[in-house]
Structure 1
Amino acid sequence: MLDVERLEEGLREQTAGFARAAAGGDPQATVPTCPDWPLRVLVGHIGQAHRYAAQVVRKGEPAVAPDPWQAEPGTPDRWEEWLRAGADDLIDAIEETGAGKEMWTFLGPRPAVFWLRRMLADTAVHHYDAAVTTGAAFVLADDLAADVVSEGFEMLTAPGAEQLKPELAELRGRGERLGLRPVSGDGWVLTRAPEGLRWQRGPVPADVDVVVSGTAADLMLVCSRRLPLDDGRVEVAGDRALMDHWLARMAF
């Protein structure tokens, strides 16, 4: 996991990037990668989610999850200010409370930094959604993209994850291994064991059943079902059907 300072910096980077991507877009434009939401609701979700996480961090206990359709991000010319304020609110809450303080999360008790990391991941993925909607550039540093992937695997393999996402039970297997191999740095290997999913970070062995190769950011987009495997930006080698089955049930 990245250190707290880099996670805070990353949240500010991705919030600013999201705001730039959304700027000038039609508030009612359909978000292609979130087709049930217009751009205004996507913006509302991010600003609302940051504030929700800040509230949980400060109180250390559950709060009612907000409805993004009820968010009030203001007029488009105020979106950037509103979004930045939400990210700053969460960062302030983490610094006031202490990143290591244990508190409620939907996966059970975790340190407060869980919420910072979760919001960075959510913001990074939705930054791409905003960029696709408006045609803006999408930029995500390798270390942030890699942490989003690792954070996603940690959630999917956490105790109780199958109760929150029942389709994960369908990913139990007989030891099949799937790999994600970035252009640089360590990759990820996910094992479909009889008792459930397992994952590890490190070099991807040559004998995995299927591997997807690409930049860290593109691998993140594959895992979040934003980038199709047929896209020329990634390469698939091995059992493509196994990878398709995995992605259909594990996307984060």
Structure 2
Amino acid sequence: MHVDRLREQTKAFADAVAGLDPDVQVPSCPEWSVRVLVGHIGQAHRWAAEIIRTGAPAGFPDPREARPGPDWRRWLSDGVEEMADALAKAGDGPVWTFVGPQPTSFWLRRMVNDTAVHYVDVAITAGKGYELAEDLAVDAIEEGLELLALPGAEQMKPALAELRGDGQTLRIIPEGRSGWLITRTPQGIACSRASADADVTMSGTAQDIVLVSYGRLTLGDVTVTGNRDLIVHWLEHAKL
């Protein structure tokens, strides 16, 4: 993944937020106003840049205390360029992440996908249409599954312990792709690229699947076949 994708998603976010009342609540992030969501995006990019520069953990700043000034677009762009500079200087060596040491590209991927989902949030708030590129949406699905299946993920998100099982299976199939098979084991979840039958299957466009997975859409926006209770339980405990 190239840093241009982060520039692209941040520009889409800035375009969608333009003209919004800073104090209006974001329906899909009801605890945050537009101002706070802008603060989150700009601070997250700078926070990731600091981790990339030092390789060490850094305390995440409170987005309610962000001071982006009057030119939000410039402030957001500056955060991306700070991260781009850190990536260029650091290479792809291991740095701290919340799931253990990972290459610096972990943070680029994480920031791209986080920014993309929040672009949808502000587009919804503004009553504007939105569109995620198919390859971006597919990667966001895959990244989410990889994070949930990593050793130690339950320490990051204790609710994942509820997804242990004794062999129950789920398939996620974006249109035109083979998708993923998720197996619930006593040790946790295991994910693989597979086309085997499963107890429940969720299918639809990659964009709709990722937005359902992040709680921005509902199961009514995708097709579910098989044990619906199993996918409902998955979504309740697997949200990032």
| TM-score normalised by length of structure 1 | 0.92
Residues in 1 aligned to 2:143 and 2:230: alpha-carbon distance in whole angstroms: 22
**Aligned AA (2:78):** A
Match of 1:228 in 2: 218
Task: Work out whether 1:250 is the aligned partner of 2:238.
Answer: yes
**Which residue of the other structure, out of 15, 18, 23, is the alignment partner of 2:18?**
23
Q: Which residue of 1 aligns with 2:74?
A: 81
Aligned residues: 240
- Which residue is equivalent to 2:198? 208
Identify the residue that residue 151 of structure 1 maps to in structure 2. 143
Question: Which letter maps to 1:184?
Answer: G
Amino acid at match of 2:63: P
Cα drift, residue 136 of structure 1: 1.8
Say if 1:92 and 1:186 are closer, same or farther in 2 by CA, change over 3 A.
Answer: farther
TM-score by length of 2: 0.96
Distance (whole Å) between structure 1 residues aligned to residue 178 and residue 69 of structure 2: 42
CA RMSD of aligned residues (A): 1.1
Amino acid at match of 2:16: A
Contact kept? 1:27, 1:39, Cα under 8 Å: yes
Alpha-carbon separation, structure 1, partners of 2:129 and 2:86? 30
Structure 2 unaligned segments of length 5 or more: list them.
none
Quote the offset at 1:9 in angstroms: 2.2
Please give the residue correspondences for 1:88-127 in structure 2 after superposition, counting only pairs within 5 Å. Answer: 88-98=81-91, 100-127=92-119
Query: Counterpart of 1:218 in structure 2: which amino acid?
Result: D
Alpha-carbon distance in structure 1 between the residues aligned to 2:162 and 2:147: 16
Structure 1 residue 111 displacement after superposition:
0.7
Cα shift at 1:10 = 1.7
Distance, in Å, in 1 between the alignment partners of 2:6 and 2:236 is 28
1:167 aligns to what? 159
Summarize deviations over 1:131-181 as a string: whole Å, max 9, x none: 111112212111111111111111111111111111101111111111111
Q: 1:86 to 1:167 in 2, by over 3 A?
A: same
1:61-113 C-alpha deviation (Å, 9 max, x unpaired) = 111111111111222xx111111111121122111110x21111111111111
| Partner SS, residue 50 of structure 2 | helix
State how far apart, in whole Å, the 2-side matches of 1:238 and 1:222 are.
17
Query: What does residue 189 of structure 2 align with?
Result: 197
List aligned pairs for 1:46-65, cutoff 5 A: 46-65=41-60
* Identity in percent: 52
- SS of the equivalent of 1:137 reads coil
Runs of 4+ in 1 over 4 A off after TM superposition: none
Residue deviations 1:176-228 (CA, integer Å, cap 9, x gap): 111111112331221111211010124x33x2111111111111101111110
SS at match of 1:230: helix
SS of corresponding position for 1:90: helix
